Structure 1
Amino acid sequence: MVCISPPERLSAAPDLIKVWFRFVPREGWLPYDAEGLWATHLSPDTARVANTPFLQDGVAEGDVVRFVTDDDGLHWSCERVEASGNCTVRVLPVPNGPLGPSAEAVYEQLAPFGLGGESFSAELPLVAFTVPADADLGQIKALLRQGRMDGWWHFEEPCITDAWRSA
């Protein structure tokens, strides 16, 4: 198993645990088959996701997941039991595009919307954003689409809501 875990910036917070998600790696993409996300421990078998996933689809920051704990003490997600209403959007700048290979430039373009997110690495400037349920979804989608048309970035929508779809 090859795993990825987000930066340790949240690890000092109280009541946080790492919840692991398994998935089938995508061909031609990163070679991982599991991702660990920080989560606030809510009950013996549930936790609220506390950061944005880079690789796991179908989950967003703020969602509540049920997990099982294995013999090694690792918490493995079984299902999402409560959706937060937030969306996850991932943006990868086009290296030879107007923004260059800069995660910071991607953040700057989306800064007016106050989106929180994380960048993967300097070598892979993939930015994973949490789009809050109460954000201006239509304007964010319009900017993402325009940026794609202008050659700034590629983006994907791995966890969206009906509100996002209809915006």
Structure 2
Amino acid sequence: MSPPDAGPPRPARDDRPPSGIGRYIKVWFRFVPREGWLPYDTEGLWATRLSADTARVANVPFLQDGVAEGETVRFTTDADGVHWATGRVAASGNCTVRVLPVPDGPLGRDAHAVHERFAPFGLGGEVFSADFPLVALTVPGGADLGAIKALLIRGVAEGWWHFEVSCVTDAWRVA
């Protein structure tokens, strides 16, 4: 028996947090490729490791549906050390919107022009590549969702772009 001032028992070796807590890891998502779309069936997203099997997504997905920047996901690690997403633990309140400029439209293939249209809303995002100027945007839950939706619809009507919303919230649905 330990003396009363010995403090709490040390955790078992397996109970210690992994040494990478707080560091970026790549979490991979598997999905079925869409016909007529990019020919990928996985996407790796940077994430901040929170525990032995959870991480917070740190960038916006181009391909994976149903997840947004800031979401907490659970993962398993395979024998090769690859972290595979197994599900969402906590929603972020953010939405993911993908915008593809129409090549022969008023914006051409200019991803920067897409970013400029959304700059007044403070939206951040990434561009897939110079050859394929798909812009993936993170839309925070506190943004002016109604105005963003109106701009997206206007852009389609004026031939600027095509868009899809790949991760939605209840706030987005009612805006």
- SS of equivalent residue, structure 1 residue 98: coil
Partner of 1:123: 131
Partner of 1:151: 159
- TM-score normalised to the size of structure 1? 0.91
- SS of equivalent residue, structure 1 residue 110: helix
Letter in structure 1 aligned against 2:42: A
After superposition, the C-alpha distances for 1:28-81 in whole angstroms (9 at most, x for unaligned) are: 111100000000000000000000000000000000000000000000000001
Q: 1:62 & 1:45 partners in 2: Cα distance?
A: 16
Q: How many residues align?
A: 154
Partner of 1:142: 150
Partner of 1:9: none
2:40 is the counterpart of 1:37 = no
Partner of 1:64: 72
- SS of equivalent residue, structure 2 residue 80: coil
Letter in structure 2 aligned against 1:85: G
Letter in structure 1 aligned against 2:31: F
Q: 1:41 & 1:64 partners in 2: Cα distance?
A: 9
Q: 1:127 & 1:102 partners in 2: Cα distance?
A: 10
> Quick one: which of 101, 104, 118 aligns to 1:110?
118
Letter in structure 2 aligned against 1:81: V
- SS of equivalent residue, structure 1 residue 92: strand
Partner of 2:96: 88
| Alpha-carbon shift at residue 166 of structure 1 (Å) | 0.3
- TM-score normalised to the size of structure 2? 0.87
> Which sections of structure 2, spanning at least 5 residues, go unmatched?
1-21
> Which sections of structure 1, spanning at least 5 residues, go unmatched?
1-13
Q: 2:111 & 2:34 partners in 1: Cα distance?
A: 22
**CA RMSD in angstroms, aligned pairs only:** 0.6
- SS of equivalent residue, structure 2 residue 26: strand
Moved segments of 4+, more than 6 Å = none
Partner of 1:4: none
Partner of 1:3: none
2:56 is the counterpart of 1:48 = yes
